[in-house]
Structure formats: structure tokens, C-alpha cells
Amino acid sequence: MCYSLAASANASVALAVIGAATVRKACLNDPKMWGFAIFPLVFSVHQFVEGVVWWSLEQPFAGDEFFRYLYTIIAFLVWPVLTPFAATLAETEPRRKKIWVAMTGCGVLLALYLTVQLAGADRIDVSVVKHSLAYDPQFERPPLVVDLIYLALTVGPLVGFDNRALKLFGAAVLLTFVYALIHNRAAWYSLWCMSAAMFSLIVSFSIKDQARSRVEKVGARAQGSD
């Protein structure tokens, strides 16, 4: 798969349009799902930033380092907090909600740890590897357990949430993580984020519209009366 400035720009625009519609759908029909609904919009911003990084490789400009850090911040710091936080907002079952709250707390701690690591980086080198961008923050690599915690926080709330569309999205995110590591380890999180961004369009199907909700409620009442 080939990525480029054009690919990131097109993905950003498509995700922005569909993301705005998804947020509107959540606000009108299922407000507790707005945390998940904003995923495509966050990915849209992420792909826009990567598009700027692509551009900076061809046309360097003052301050282009900022966009390298911003891309890394969204990848490293936002997702391990936003994903369990979105599950916390949407969850109605008390015991599972406690799990998502605990995972949100772990996400905050992980984000703080990675913030300290990133703050100590001398710079972030970027190169093109197999048509994808390889970001290389110049800091001491965190232990493997940090990567495993990150994966659990970003995938666990998706596959563990009681919603078929989100489970499908979570499974796709997990599979693309494995694919990215095998196919292009040097540029794995750029490749993973682009793939996950495209699959985030599934989130729209996780939000029930009012008409469908009414039909399901009527059906449930009818079964109960029998």
C-alpha cells in the first residue's frame, strides 16, 4: 500500500466529512456515544498533520518539527486516553463501566509517562520506508510492556464494548496493528494509524438512529408481553 501527501490529504477530507455526520448522528440520536463519534474527526486531524509532514520532506519550512511532534503526540498520547474514556461515557452496565474508568486512569498515567519521554527527545527524525513515514523520536525506547499496555488501552475498550460495530472496528484495528508490524516495522505506527483511520468509518454504524431504536423497543415490549 502506498501512502503520500495526496493520500493523507484525501483521507483527511473524507474523514472530516463523514466524521461530522457521525457526530451529528450521535448528538441527535445517542449522545452518550459522542466519544466514539469523534474518532473519525480525530483521525482526520491526524492525517492532515501527516500530510503536512509529507509536504515538509519535499519543501522544508520553519517550524516543520512542530508537526512531527504533533503527529506523535496524537498517536502516543491521545488514543490510550480517548478510547477507554469514550467507552466510559457510553457504557450503561455498572461493572463494565468501572473497568473503562480504571483503563482511562491507566491511559492518563501512560500518557504522562510518554509525555516525559517525548519531552526529553532531542528531535524526531522522519524517513520514507516502503512508501510510509517512519517516525523516530530520539529518546530511550520504553520497555515492551509499555507497548502492550498501549495496545490493550486502544483496542480493549473497542472489542470489549457491547456493540457489534465497535467490536468489528476493534478487531480491524488489532489486525492492522499486527499487519503493520509484520509488513513495515520501521513505519508501523504511521501505517497502523492510516489503516485504523479508514476503518474508523465503521463507528458510524455503532450509533443507532431514532427510528431503529423505537422499532427495537417496541419489539422488546412485545416479547415481554408474550
Domains delineated in the chain:
5-225 (1.20.1070)
The C-alpha atoms of residue 104 and residue 111 are separated, in whole angstroms, by 10
Which three-class secondary structure state does DSSP give residue 134?
strand
pTM (2 decimals)? Answer: 0.88
| Residue among 20, 24, 26, 60 nearest 43 (CA) | 20
- The whole-number pLDDT of residue 144 equals 86
- The whole-number pLDDT of residue 55 equals 94
Mean pLDDT by groups of 10 residues along the chain of 226 residues? 76 95 94 96 96 92 92 94 97 95 97 93 90 87 90 96 95 93 87 91 84 44 52
Instruction: List the grid coordinates of 37.
Output: 463519534
- The whole-number pLDDT of residue 223 equals 56
